[in-house]
A and B are shown apart, each in its own frame.
Chain A
Amino acid sequence: MSDLMQTFPVKRIVEHGPGVKSFYFDRVTDADAGQFVNVWLPGIDEKPYSVSAIGEDWLEISVKAYGVFSGAMMKLKVGELVGIRGPFGKGFTLRDNALIIGGGIGIAPLRILARELSDRNFRFVSLLGAATAHEVIFVDDFRRRSSNCYVTTDDGTLGKKGLVTDDLLEIIKKEKIEFIYAAGPEIMFVKIKELIDPLGIPYEFCLERYMKCGIGICGQCTLDGSGIRLCVEGPVLNQDDLKAVTELGLPHRDASGRRV
């Protein structure tokens, strides 16, 4: 694969429930867990998406309907052409005895991580949360690969009613966790960080920002405080990368560069 734009037909679509779908393409690129590709819908826009899984001859991207672009993704049909360039960025490092924490569609980049960890016979525990049952995507896959899988939903339709952070400290202790991965809404990172920083357990978060180029030049996704570019030095950042970052939890910059 390359930085150059190329278009590929959608091969298969899986609907997890209202407004949540996975799209399958040929295996047009390799990607490490946590890396992303820029997805172009001709005539609409281009956005970064984590690769959520790679198989022998397929690549999967999982999308939740949110704005104009993801709304248009929901209308895609098998056979339609989609631009893909990448993979971009730096992904997760692979560790033993880890806890994987996914919030909502943030579960997507953790699915490929879970597959890589289990391929290497690393022990890990999953803690997945979402608004409602069908948004806990690929929960069976996580259950199969994790030594233990905890689930929370806001409405109690799957697992325990509540947030992933509710029982976090107990799970860390009980499962003898040595490393933490997380992906999901930024408010979740703020809360997790608050809880685990005092424990000194190392961690990696997969962040999101508005992006244009994906190749480290436009400056749109640089983080205040450190100046690192999320599209090149991220999107996965560890506890040391995050030390200098002053904007965790703040509203993100939009296309103009304002925080809105």
Chain B
Amino acid sequence: MSQVKFLNLKLKNPTVLASGILGLTASSMRRVVEFGGAGAVTTKSFNIEWRKGHKNPSILPFRHGLLNAVGLSNPGIDEMVKEIRLFKRQCDAPIFASVFGRTIDEFAEVTRRTVEAQPDLIEVNISCPNVHSEFGQPFGNSCKDTAKITEIVKKNAGNIPVSIKLGPHGPGVARLARVCEEHGADAITAINTVGPGMLIDIEVRKPILSNKTGGVSGPAILPIAVKSVYEVYKAVNIPIIGTGGVTVPEDAVQMILAGATLIGIGTGVYYQGIDVFKKIEQGIREYLDRHGFKSIEEIRGGAHE
């Protein structure tokens, strides 16, 4: 009942580990599948060269979610290719490789190298909101850059499908999603963290994050994510990985009603534990049962007129 088809893939259930959470190593991602119950996993975003990212504090809980400026730390493509291959040898669940670049050429190169590991999907992170000071505005804030990156990643991805990860900012997520679809994207991941935002320590009277600002995730952003998925579903025909603030099954059902095919879960791990995937999958099933539906397909996009 929870099985879902996404592009050329069959997932045991529609939950996906979102990028940036527990996605550094094969062992960690395998545990998210085997113990946590995720239908698929996404790696931490990586590039050709390793990066240390921002200093700590880089991840901070607040009353309604998390604020993070990890700063795209990653061990580089060589390490990540190894980890993806190891995961594929040990685990049947699909693995999505999240890539980023500082320049459009880097997106091409990291895609070419990622293909070596044969992930099931390449997710393109063009919307990280916490590296402004170094990278400038995210590419995903411009329709022109989004088009260029989609095109170049597709050109280098071979037969591996590509999802572009968009944020709620810039020219609007629906417009950006249309641009991605027109330039060959196979799916859309919506949304990235929101903001950036800031938290200040009132005794020290300074921002707490070492980067001062960071992306907001968790329950606080669920309504923005649901609305973004709703708009993207209206705008394009390609499937959507709905991500942002999903913590309990009811949040996931909202995402599906808005039009998501898969549900990305990241910060939910903080609130519900690693088995958040299992809990949400079970809750979706109970919802379908209660309302007499036989499959998730029957309710997808159900909130639209």
Q: Which residues of A contact B (CB under 8 A)?
A: 2-7, 38, 40, 42-43, 45-47, 81, 83, 212-213, 215-220, 222-229, 253-258
Nearest CB to that of A3 among chain B residues? B61
Q: Indicate whether A219 sits within 8 Å of B23 (C-beta atoms), given known contacts A42-B201, A257-B75.
A: yes
The answer to whether B270 and A256 have CB atoms under 8 Å apart is no
| Of listed A45, A212, A257, residue having the most chain B CB within 10 A | A257
The answer to whether B52 and A254 have CB atoms under 8 Å apart is yes
Minimum CB–CB distance from B32 to chain A (whole Å) comes to 8
The answer to whether B61 and A256 have CB atoms under 8 Å apart is no
Nearest CB to that of A80 among chain B residues? B204
Residue B55 is within 8 A (CB to CB) of chain A in the complex: yes
Count how many pairs of residues, one from A and one from B, have CB atoms less than 8 Å apart in the complex.
122
Q: How far is the CA of A125 from the CA of B59 in the complex (A)?
A: 40
Q: How far is the CA of A223 from the CA of B31 in the complex (A)?
A: 11
Seed contacts A2-B61, A222-B27; 5 additional CB < 8 Å A-B pairs: A40-B57, A46-B55, A83-B57, A218-B22, A257-B24
Residues of B within 8 Å of A5, CB to CB, are 57, 60, 199, 201, 208
Q: Could you list 6 A-B pairs, sorted by A, with CB under 8 Å?
A: A7-B201, A45-B210, A222-B31, A227-B31, A229-B28, A258-B75
The answer to whether B76 and A256 have CB atoms under 8 Å apart is yes
| 9 pairs of A and B residues whose beta carbons are closest in the complex | A227-B31, A46-B56, A257-B75, A222-B28, A227-B27, A213-B59, A219-B22, A255-B52, A256-B50
By size class, the interface of chain B is: 35 or more
Partner of A256, one of B22, B32, B53, B267: B53
Q: Indicate whether A258 sits within 8 Å of B79 (C-beta atoms), given known contacts A4-B61, A217-B270, A223-B27.
A: yes
Minimum CB–CB distance from B167 to chain A (whole Å) comes to 19
Residues of A within 8 Å of B27, CB to CB, are 222-227
Would you call the interface of chain A mostly helix, strand, loop, or mixed?
Answer: loop
Q: How far is the CA of A10 from the CA of B73 in the complex (A)?
A: 32
Nearest CB to that of A228 among chain B residues? B31
For B23-64 the 0/1 string (1 means CB < 8 A from A) is 111011111100100000000100000111101111111110
Q: Indicate whether A81 sits within 8 Å of B21 (C-beta atoms), given known contacts A216-B269, A217-B59.
A: no
Q: How far is the CA of A225 from the CA of B73 in the complex (A)?
A: 22
Residues of A within 8 Å of B111, CB to CB, are none
Nearest CB to that of B54 among chain A residues? A255
Which residues of chain B from 183 to 239 have a CB within 8 Å of any chain A CB?
A: 199, 201, 203-204, 206, 208, 210
Residues of B within 8 Å of A218, CB to CB, are 20-22, 58-59, 70
Residues of A within 8 Å of B58, CB to CB, are 212-213, 218
Minimum CB–CB distance from B108 to chain A (whole Å) comes to 22
The answer to whether B25 and A224 have CB atoms under 8 Å apart is yes
Minimum CB–CB distance from A245 to chain B (whole Å) comes to 9
Minimum CB–CB distance from A48 to chain B (whole Å) comes to 9
Residue B74 is within 8 A (CB to CB) of chain A in the complex: yes
Partner of A212, one of B56, B74, B201, B208: B56
Partner of A4, one of B29, B62, B203: B62
Residue B119 is within 8 A (CB to CB) of chain A in the complex: no
